[in-house]
Structure 1
């Protein structure tokens, strides 16, 4: 015997309009310390700045940091990579935004 799996299509409940609407915006995440690391291994001798620990939309962060540094970049896993050694510029930019940053590695 098959179960009747009906989905509610119309509701006469008076509170259906008062339900909170789902928002596309993410809930603000608490921002911790951001780590800035300079790396050359596995990149043919070219220097890359790794930015770890950013909360929120990493693609948006990548775009902002590329504009600040005047360099290319990418997002890999939970890290933003900016071409070149731009740790100082990024640290100053994050400080202006009220965020803590630390230099990590060589």
Structure 2
């Protein structure tokens, strides 16, 4: 059987393949994707509660696929020289780096704002 004659006989996918719209990452996977981010601002919070007195910057509102969030986290960790993790939909960076993070996010095309105390 030639590869041109192949078709799906049975699929558990509720939507046909032709209707899937894959989101392609830009050249820099950490950069904002305008079609996903639209006008949603990214907020950078400072948290200390429940962390044993340690300060953590929490970045909320990044509309990006998981690979984009991982790339953004990696970029932030490298430039800031600190640790961090993706927790759910939020990114966490160790230490108080709010102003630097906001500046870096704006360079990447995000509408970033510092929030919280």
Same fold, judged at TM 0.5 (above): yes
Q: Quote the offset at 1:99 in angstroms.
A: 2.1
Q: In angstroms, what is the RMSD of aligned CA positions?
A: 2.6
What are structure 2's unaligned runs of at least 5 residues? 7-17, 26-32
Determine if the alignment matches structure 1 residue 10 to structure 2 residue 21: no
Which of 23, 38, 41 aligns to 2:49? It is 41
Length-normalised TM-score, structure 1: 0.72
Equivalent in the alignment of 1:29 = 36
Length-normalised TM-score, structure 2: 0.66
Equivalent in the alignment of 1:73 = 84
Which of 85, 96, 100 aligns to 1:85? It is 96
Give the 3 Å change call, closer, same or farther, for CA 37–24 of structure 1 in structure 2.
closer
Question: Which protein is richer in helix relative to its size?
Answer: 2
Q: What does 1:90-105 align with in structure 2 at a 5 Å threshold? A: 90-105=101-116
What are structure 1's unaligned runs of at least 5 residues? 1-8, 12-18
Name segments (4+ residues, structure 1) moved above 6 Å.
none
Contact 1:36 1:51 in 2 (8 A): yes
